A and B are shown apart, each in its own frame.
Chain A
Amino acid sequence: MSLDLEMEEIHKIFFEESFEGLDAMESGLLNLDVNADRETIATIFRAAHSIKGGAATFGFIEVSNFTHGVETLLDEMRNGARPVTPDAIQLLLQSVDGLREMVRAVQAKRPVDAKRTAHLSDEVARLLARHGSRDLAAAPGAAASDGPAGTAPRAAGAPDAAPEFLRGGPGWVIEFHPHHDMLKTNNEPLRMFAELERLGALNATADLGELPPLSGLQPDGCYLRWRLELAGAVEKRQIEEVFDWVDANCAIQYRFFAGGEAPAPLAAGPVALPAGATAAPAAPPAAAAPSSAAPKGGGDAGSIRVSTTKVDHLINLVGELVITQSMLSRFADGCSADELEKLRDGLTQLTRNTRELQESVMQIRMLPISFAFNRFPRLVHDLSRKLGKKVELSLSGEGTELDKTVLEKIADPLVHLVRNALDHGLEQPEVRLAAGKSETGTIELAAFHEGGNIIIEVKDDGSGLNKAKILQRARERGLVAADAELSDEQIHNLIFAAGFSTADVVSDVSGRGVGMDVVRRNIQDLGGVVQISSVHGQGSTIRIRLPLTLAILDGQLVRIGAETYVISLVAIVETIQVRKDRLNAVPGGAELFRLRDEYIPVVRLYEMFGVEPDSRAIEDGLLVVVEAEGRRFGVLVDDLLAQQQVVIKSLDTNYRQVAGVAGATILGDGTVALIVDVPGLVQVFHRSVGSRGMLAA
C-alpha cells in the first residue's frame, strides 16, 4: 500500500477513535456531575490525552493544541489539584463539542471554525489561570538539564587547561560518572560514545578507580568513569541530548574550551576503552517471534468492524437471490406436479434457505437503539439548564435493535420530539408544584419490539395537549372546516400538520411550527407511523412505529392497464368492488365512495400516473382501500395480482424522486415495477383536488 493510502487508512482509524473517545469523555463528564470519582476522571483524562497525542502525531495541530488545555484541566482534576465544579464540567462539555466539530472538520478536510475554537480556548485558559496552576503554554519537550548537581568529578591533571586532544581547537571535556545502576536500564556507555563520535572526534579515557574487589563486583554494575574529550564546535545541547536518558543515573560535568589555548598534559592513566567490560545488556535476539498478528486485541469480545458498503453489497446480493428464487418458483408453478416433484422440493428448500440467509444478513445491519438514545442525557442536561426546568430522563429498551439506516434517520425526529416535550410539554418547577406535581418532570424514552416492528415512545408528564386551543388554531389556519367534528385523536394529531404551532412565543428551541410535520414526514419516509395521545394536565405520549428494516416490503401487486404497481400491504385495509350506486360526486371534482358508514375519496391512480387503464368506469375496476395519516381513501386499479415480498430499490440513485412513487422493485419476470407511496399519494391527491372537507372523513 502506498504511503499516502496507508496514512489515509490510519487517519480514518484515528478519527473513529477520536469520536469514540469524545463520546466517552462526554458520558464520563455527565456522570461526574453526579459523583466525582477518580476512575471516571482518569478515564476522561486518558481519552483527552490520547486524542492530543494522536492529533499531534498525525499533524492535526489545531486539534492537538486545543486539547492540550483540556487535558491540563483534567490532569489537575485527576491529581486533586483542582475541584470538580459544575462550571468546569460545563466548560469541558462545551470543549468536547468544540473538539468534535474540529475533528469533523479535519476529517472532511475543511477549515476549522477558528472563532469558536479561540473562544473556547480562552475560556479554558481563564479557568486554568484561576487556580494559578501550570502555565498553559508549557511546551512539550525536554528542557535539557544542565547536568545534575552533585559530585563534581575531577579527573587527575590540570582541570582548567584545554586537553591536548583538542589541538587548540574548540571542544568539550566531559566528566562522565555513571551511577552503579545505570546499566540496569540498558543505557550502554558504548552506544553513547558512538553517538558522541557522530558529533566530533572523541577521545575517551576510563578511570578504573572505582572498581571494587571482585567479591563486591556486581556483574551488571557500572564502576567505570570516563573523561571524554570531544573535539569540535559542538553545542552543549547536542551533547546533553546524548546523555538525556541517563541524567538521573550519573553525574556529568561539562567544560568548554573555545580553542586557541595551550594544550595541557594528558591526564594520567589512560586505559583502553573497555570493549565489553560493561555487562553487555544483550537482549537475546528473539527467535521465532510472531509478527504483528500476535496479541493485538480489540476492546470487545469477538467482534470486527465492517464497512457499511460491504454490508450493503451483501444485502444487495441477497436481494438478488430473493428475486432469482421467486423467478424459479414462478417457473415451477407452470409445470406439471408429477414430473417436477423434486424440483418443487428443491425450490421449497431454496426458499427457506434464502429467507434464513436474508434474515441473518439483515441482522448484520441491526444496531441497538442506544446509539440514538445516548445523545439524550447530554441534550436533556443542557436544555433543562437553559430552560430552568428540572427534568429526569429515563431510558428503557436501549438494547432494542433496528436497522442502521432507520436508526440514523430516526435520530433527528427523536431529538425534535424530546426538545418539544422539554420545551412545551414540561412546565416550570413552580407551575408544577402549584399543580400538585413534583418539581422534577419526567421524560421517558422507551423502545421495544412489537409484531415485526419497533415501537419508540416519548412520554412526558407535563401539561399535555390543550384540545380547545389546537382546534381553534387549526380553524384559524384553515386546516379544519369551522363546523367539522373531530374525535380527540384527530384533534391531537392535528399538531402534525404543516405550519401548525400553538406556541405563543416562538422559542429558539422549538415552536416554529416547522417541526412536527417534518417529523411525521421523516417517519413516514421510513415506512413508519406516528401518533400522539395526551391527557390535558397530565402529559403526552408520542408513539412511533417503524419497520425493522427498510429494504424489504410486503407488497400487493396491482395492475393498471399494462403497468404493474406495488402497494405496501401494511397500508391496505381492504379491497372491494365498487358499486356505482355507492359513488357520490362532490362539487369540486372529488368522488366519494360510501363504505359502510364512512365516505372515502376515490383516487384514480391511472390519472395521477398517466397510464391507460383497461376501463375508466369505476365499477369495472377494484378499489384498494388504503390508510395513511389516519385517513382512508380508495385507489382505483384494474386488477389485483399476487402478494409477495419485494426488495425496495431507490429510484433516485440513477433517476430522481417522483411524487407518489416510493421506489421500485424487480419482479420475478425481471421487469421493474414502481412502488406506490401511499402517504405521498394523499398529498398529491389533495393538492390536485383541493378538498378541505376531506379532513372530516
Chain B
Amino acid sequence: MAGVILAVDDSASMRQMVNFTLKGAGYEVVQAVDGLEALEYARCHSVDLVLTDVNMPRMDGITLVKELRALPSYRYTPMLMLTTESSQDRKMQGKQAGATGWIIKPFNPEQLLATIARVL
C-alpha cells in the first residue's frame, strides 16, 4: 500500500524519524520544514497524504491545511495533523481548516503507520 507522503515539521529530528518510519513501510516521503515550503511544493506536485506538525514558523499547520484545501488537487487529499495539544479548540480549528484527522504526539512508529493506513 504505497504512496507519496508530504511530511511537514520544523524539527529535523522529527522529520528524520517520520521519514525513516514511512520509508521503511514502503512509502515515498517528501519533506518540508514549514507550511510555506510545503504549500509551494504542493502547488506543482500532488501527494497521497499530507502529514503536518501544527506549530511551525512562517506558516503553521492549520493555515497550511486551509491553504491546501483551496488547491483543486488537494481538495480530497487526506491530511493528518501531528499535535501534542489535546485541546478541543485546536482540534476544532484543525477540522474547520479541513484536516482529516490528527495524530497525537508522542507516537510510536506503529501508531503512525496504523493511522496512515486508515486513510491511505
Contact = CB atoms under 8 A, between A and B. Distances in A.
Contact of A11 (B13, B40, B48, B98): B13
B51 interface: no
Given A64-B106, A286-B3, A49 B55 contact: yes
Contact of A186 (B14, B37, B77): B77
A559 to B, nearest CB: 55
Contacts of A56: 84, 105-106
Given A53-B106, A141-B104, A291-B29, A286 B45 contact: yes
Interface string B1-35: 00110000011111111011001000011111100
Interface stretch (A149-157, A241-249, A344-352): A241-249
Interface residues of A, number: 55
Nearest to B34: A297
B73 to A, nearest CB: 7
Nearest to B22: A292
B46 A284 contact: yes
Contacts of A292: 19, 23, 28-31
Contacts of A654: none
Contact of A58 (B13, B45, B101): B13
Interface string A27-45: 0000000000000000101
B79 interface: yes
B114 to A, nearest CB: 10
Contacts, number: 159
Contact of B28 (A13, A220, A249, A291): A291
A17 B13 contact: yes
A579 interface: no
Most buried by A among B38, B40, B76, B86: B76
A249 to B, nearest CB: 7
Contact of B45 (A50, A279, A289, A296): A289
Contact of B41 (A13, A52, A282, A294): A294
Contact of A184 (B37, B91, B98): B98
A142 B29 contact: no
B78 A186 contact: yes
A187 B100 contact: yes
A185 interface: yes
B14 to A, nearest CB: 6
Interface in B69-87: 69, 73, 75-79, 82, 84-86
19 contacts: A17-B12, A17-B13, A53-B82, A57-B106, A57-B107, A140-B85, A142-B86, A186-B76, A186-B119, A187-B100, A245-B100, A245-B101, A249-B95, A279-B76, A282-B76, A283-B47, A289-B47, A294-B31, A298-B33
Given A284-B73, A295-B30, 4 more contacts: A57-B105, A187-B100, A283-B49, A299-B33
Interface of A: 6, 9-11, 13-14, 17, 43, 45-46, 49-50, 52-54, 56-59, 64, 138-143, 183-187, 191, 195, 220, 244-245, 248-249, 279, 281-286, 289-292, 294-299
